[in-house]
A and B are shown apart, each in its own frame.
Chain A
Amino acid sequence: MRPTFSGFEIVKSGIQSAQVGLDVTGKNIASMGAEGYSRRVVDQKTVYYSSSTYKYAPVGGQRLGQGVTIDKIVQIRDKFLDIRFRAANSEYADFAKKTEVLESINDILDETTNDGLGVLIEEFYERLQVLSTNTGKIEFASLVRSSAQKITETVNFYYGKLQQISELEKVNLESITILDINKSLQEITELNKTIQNEELVGNVPNDLYDARNLLLDKLSKYMNIEVGEYGDDSPYKGAVSVKCGDTYLIDPSSDYTATLKMEEDAGKVKIFADTTELVFTSGEIKGTLDIINGEGSFAGVEEFNGIPYYLKSLDNFAQKFAEVFNGLNGGDLFVGNDASDFAISDEWLADANFLKVTTEGSQDSGKNDNVLRMLYALDSKQQITGSFEGTFIEFVVTLMADAAIDKNFYTDRASASDTVLTTIDNQRESVKGVSLNEETVNMIKYQRAFEASARVMTALDEMLDIIINRMGVVGR
């Protein structure tokens, strides 16, 4: 037996779900430009009832069910792609950061279109040559001196500029990056709690998931993170944990949220999550730390050629340059302990002829043997650092080349990992993004479904009209 109004109920559920479907379509279209939005779909289910629990349930082949119901509105998202995206994002951020800073280092050292230390050493060489044919003349001696002064000032300048880059990166790390990370961690913890509460009462807080995922994406740019979720039977279901390496940054099970801070220890910058030092394998922080801490060949182990590498190289250059020329001169031409206070001596500053042109007899005899010795020293191999033996110019060019080759290398790697990131992002977008064509089809679909359901309703109404008003009135 069929209940009289069961058809109305069925059609009503159709009309309602078509309306909800259209609402979801509207939400998707409205949010398609929002960052981090993942599309929603209506999870429609048919309603079935069991003949044993319903008094008037039809039996046998008549069973039809009770129309449809909206089970829930779900978001379409592939968690595996999220993991891959975050890994690629932090790898790219590491290389991009290095590329960016290496570009600044190159700006200082690169002599392709500017004159720098290499050109100045060459100028010093040229002026010594001129002095060698014009010994004893103060004007040529003072040309040599002014060239030497330019060398010392340029070394100071390089040193200062490089240190400035390092300082700026430190400030950026401490007062922008770390603050942002701490804020994001707090926000994720808050979201964790809200989501847990929402899920507890049976809601599906899609917008909060999106917000949390967006924050996790942002964190992944800064560092390598590992996001953990809890199963259905866990008391922490709905919350996520965040780990960097082996260290928990967010641990819902112990209600812990880390606060990151930067510390400097023996010239090395380190990042701590409260008391535990974090070890980064990728991300912008890894890039920054490599730049700030990397001693290159000066470190015992293999390290990135960071700013300390260039600073130490300049120190070694200044010390060796001073050692060689002071030795040949028999009195200090150059003073200073490292690249920052490398300068020409007061004696030389007071008297250009303080540079000894000959070791035999009077300085104004016109002999030039010591100038030739200096020229030879400038052009012969020196052990400038523990691992470098070559001329001063070669050393400067090698420094330049180190920065350039690293820049070249990391630009290539950044561009390669950018391609990977773009591919994964496209894949992710292809799953979670809103397609206007699809939504338009959905729009038509729901509109038509609504129209058709309404028509069925009208048909049912007319049938009842026949039963009530027109049936059994024959011969009246």
Chain B
Amino acid sequence: MRLTNNIISKNYLKSLNKSLTEMNDMNTLIAAKRKYMRFSDDPVSALRAMKVRQNITRIDVYTENLRDADDIFSQYESVISNVNSIVSDALVQVSQGMTGTSDEVARQTIAKSLEAFQDAILAAVNTQFAGKYIFSGDTVGQPPFSIDPDTGKLLYKGDPVDNITEFAEKRYIDIGLGLGVDEGGDVLPKTVWDIAVSGLDLLGYGVDEEGYTKNLYNMLGILAEKFENNDMTDIDKLYEKLQKIADNVRVQYVSVGEKSEYIKFFVDRLGSEQYNLMAKQTRLEGLDLAEGITKFANLELAYNACLQIGTKILQPSLLDFLK
């Protein structure tokens, strides 16, 4: 091929420009510690990184939801332990009052303290945490318990607790189990996690086969009335019932503890998942600095060589050697 000076200078300029561009691009990548700056530079990696990035934020969301739940469960635990100690105290008081040595005055005192316990329990189950009535099952926006002014009995969302035979209240949160909704628009329970805790479970509801209330508050009310009136009929039986109720409170204590454990397990699992995802993200997007700087040094070398050759290749022609 016939080579002209214009071809040489045109090609030279093109190579020089290419070399400088590559060096500049590499410099940008190193400054950003990234493998690519634009989606179009590496669509496959970018698309995968996009997905990984979304998964990471999802894990943040689920972890945050679990932490919220954990805070609530800690609050449950402290409330339940509070109720538990009230029940223990109540049992002690009742057993003291049952003995023949107690006189009417002492029983009056016991009645007063049982009533005080009732108030304490009502306050405990109507506890608000972060603006939520945590024992209100699925309707945490409203106080769950109130007292019927006529009977002095406990009402759960307006219904006498003794009349409640069954209830199922669910309050779901999404913790990344793949939230699903059925065709009717109802959330599929298996795909979410139920964090509803009802005061009914804690305090008991309905009546047993003998017609006695299974509810702590109402039972304390009955006992207080008995002591008030110094009426010791059936007191043994009532004491037994109260013990049963106390057992139930302890069972609740344990079951909330289990839920807390589950949260810790799940948060740990999400944590390690997040760690893996972040490692993957770094692999997809992050630039190994050693590699980047080595590449840059190579490009710099090429550019310098290009410049140096330029002074030699562009200058001479036969013209320069004429005397």
**Chain A residues with a Cβ under 8 A of chain B:** 32-33, 102-103, 106, 110-113, 118, 122, 125-126, 129-130, 132-137, 359, 361-362, 364-369, 372-373, 375-376, 379-380, 393, 397, 400-401, 403-405, 407-408, 411, 422, 425-427, 429-431, 433-437, 440-441, 444
Query: Across the interface, which residues of B come within 8 angstroms of A369, CB to CB?
Result: 172, 186-187
A32 touches B39 (CB 8 A): no
For the complex formed, measure the closest distance between the CB of B8 and the CB atoms of chain A, giving whole angstroms: 10
For the complex formed, measure the closest distance between the CB of B113 and the CB atoms of chain A, giving whole angstroms: 34
Query: Across the interface, which residues of A come within 8 angstroms of B302, CB to CB?
Result: none
If over half of A's interface residues share one DSSP class (helix, strand or loop), that class is named, otherwise mixed; here it is helix
A366-B136, A401-B43 known; A373-B1 Cβ under 8 A: no
A429-B4, A434-B5 known; A366-B138 Cβ under 8 A: yes
Q: Mask for B162-176, Cβ within 8 A of A = 1, else 0?
A: 000000000111100
**Chain B residues with a Cβ under 8 A of chain A:** 1-7, 10-11, 14, 32, 34, 36-41, 43, 46-47, 49-50, 54, 57, 60-61, 64-65, 68-69, 130-133, 136, 138-142, 171-174, 179-181, 185-187, 192, 317-319, 322
Query: Across the interface, which residues of A come within 8 angstroms of B49, CB to CB?
Result: 112
Most A Cβ at <10 Å: residue of B4, B11, B133: B4
B40 touches A430 (CB 8 A): no
Please name the residue on chain B nearest to A109 by beta carbon.
Answer: B39
Among B11, B180, B318, point to the contact of A440 (Cβ < 8 A): B318
If over half of B's interface residues share one DSSP class (helix, strand or loop), that class is named, otherwise mixed; here it is mixed
A436 touches B319 (CB 8 A): yes
Among A103, A112, A364, A393, point to the contact of B54 (Cβ < 8 A): A393
Q: How far is the CA of A355 from the CA of B192 in the complex (A)?
A: 22
Q: How far is the CA of A103 from the CA of B39 in the complex (A)?
A: 11
Please name the residue on chain B nearest to A425 by beta carbon.
Answer: B10
B6 touches A32 (CB 8 A): yes
For the complex formed, measure the closest distance between the CB of B178 and the CB atoms of chain A, giving whole angstroms: 9
Query: Across the interface, which residues of A come within 8 angstroms of B41, CB to CB?
Result: 408
Query: Across the interface, which residues of A come within 8 angstroms of B131, CB to CB?
Result: 134, 137
Q: How far is the CA of A376 from the CA of B174 in the complex (A)?
A: 10
For the complex formed, measure the closest distance between the CB of B307 and the CB atoms of chain A, giving whole angstroms: 21
Q: How far is the CA of A434 from the CA of B136 in the complex (A)?
A: 93
Among A125, A366, A380, A403, point to the contact of B132 (Cβ < 8 A): A366
Please name the residue on chain A nearest to B11 by beta carbon.
Answer: A426
Given A113-B37, A126-B60, output 14 extra A-B contacts at Cβ < 8 Å: A110-B38, A110-B39, A113-B38, A129-B174, A134-B68, A136-B140, A364-B141, A365-B141, A366-B142, A367-B138, A369-B187, A372-B174, A404-B43, A434-B4
Please name the residue on chain B nearest to A433 by beta carbon.
Answer: B4
B7 touches A433 (CB 8 A): yes
Please name the residue on chain A nearest to B188 by beta carbon.
Answer: A376
Q: How far is the CA of A252 from the CA of B229 in the complex (A)?
A: 126
A110-B39, A367-B139, A372-B179 known; A430-B1 Cβ under 8 A: yes
For the complex formed, measure the closest distance between the CB of B52 and the CB atoms of chain A, giving whole angstroms: 12
B2 touches A135 (CB 8 A): no
Q: How far is the CA of A426 from the CA of B12 in the complex (A)?
A: 12
A435 touches B57 (CB 8 A): no
For the complex formed, measure the closest distance between the CB of B239 and the CB atoms of chain A, giving whole angstroms: 37
A403 touches B317 (CB 8 A): no
Please name the residue on chain A nearest to B50 by beta carbon.
Answer: A397
B317 touches A440 (CB 8 A): yes
Q: How far is the CA of A357 from the CA of B313 in the complex (A)?
A: 75
Among B38, B50, B172, B318, point to the contact of A106 (Cβ < 8 A): B38
Among B43, B61, B138, B180, point to the contact of A376 (Cβ < 8 A): B180
B179 touches A379 (CB 8 A): yes
Query: Across the interface, which residues of A come within 8 angstroms of B11, CB to CB?
Result: 422, 426
A137-B131, A411-B40, A430-B3 known; A440-B139 Cβ under 8 A: no
